[in-house]
Amino acid sequence: MASDLDLVTGELNVGGLTRSFALRLPPRAPGGIPLVLVLHGNQSGTGLGGSTMRELTTFDQQADAHGFAVAYPDGHGGCWADGRGVTTADEADVDDVAFLRALIDWSAGRHGTVPDRAVVAGLSNGAFMAHRMGVDASDQVAVLAAVAGGLPASLLGASPECAVSAMLIHGTADSMSPLEGGFSRHRGPSGELRGRTVSLAETADFWRTIDRCPDGPGQTVTTEESTRTLTAGGTGGTQVAAWTVRGGGHAWPGSTPPGERPEYTTREFDAARQIWRFAEPLLIPAAVRRR
């Protein structure tokens, strides 16, 4: 992680709430550079936010090496209103789509980043929110990357305006957000199950359908710890990649999680590096991705 002196911090008033974020620009940044938004998991009650993802991932280093801007926004109360209806932000009717849209526009207006080709990457609650941004802000989001978070079932009937490339990374031993999908641990007031998400396979099928990718299994590569399937040829050149991490837990691949974590974190690849490698050739203008 780079020095805090390299960060631009800011606030936006959205929906009557003051929302905070940090933005890192690459050295000698010209206009027209890409913007990557990195969304943290549920940090409710901890007072933590975007800084956790800056510490956990190598997005600072990737931004410097490849010349993009990276933003670390803070969820309201440490979480995101991702549409599952189970977080405190959802329960408070926080409009996180409006906040992240405003952040993309602010960065474009202030620092010249490209407003219709953003990348949104997230972990867990941040992954669910990345899916929601792909659905509700497809005119601004060219690529989403969801780590340890399948598509919220509430989004299954959605029809985004534009195709969005998607990179999906999920571990087979994830106990908090199972590969096969399931319900949130946060039950309703009467103990009812809620907040269902679908499996990695269903999530990949959803985005392949949205992107109008050709039928067929795609191209699959198997490594020592992962199976990686890529389907290309979607609208405007969009693609969907689904990576299954064998034995992987609820974790960000390539990271060193703080403290004790019982679930396995693969070091076979660095998720931030692979997300950028996937996204860079797929930063396609919204007009070309329109469905």
Instruction: Per-residue pLDDT tens, the chain, 291 aa: give them.
Output: 455 657 899 999 999 999 999 999 988 767 799 999 999 999 987 878 999 999 999 999 999 999 999 999 999 999 999 999 999 999 999 999 999 999 999 999 999 999 999 999 999 999 999 999 999 999 999 999 999 999 999 999 999 999 999 999 999 999 999 999 999 888 877 878 899 999 999 999 999 999 999 998 899 999 999 999 999 999 999 999 999 999 999 999 999 876 666 789 999 999 999 999 999 999 999 999 999
Total domains in the chain come to: 1
Q: Which element (helix H / strand E) includes 55?
A: helix 50-56
* Orientation of helix 271-279 relative to helix 59-66, angle to 10°: 40
- Residue 27 sits in a domain whose CATH number is 3.40.50.1820
Query: For residue 166, what is the DSSP state?
Result: E
Q: How far apart are CA 288 and CA 117, in angstroms?
A: 11
Rounded (to 5) percent helix, strand, coil in the chain: 30, 25, 45
Residue 39: both structure tokens together:
């969304």
Domain that holds residue 87: 4-289
- CA angle, residues 171, 159, 289, in degrees to nearest 5: 85
Q: How far apart are CA 61 and CA 68, in angstroms?
A: 10
Q: How far is CA 208 from CA 133, 166, 212, 233, in A?
A: 16, 9, 6, 10
pLDDT in tens, 64-117: 999 999 999 999 999 999 999 999 999 999 999 999 999 999 999 999 999 999
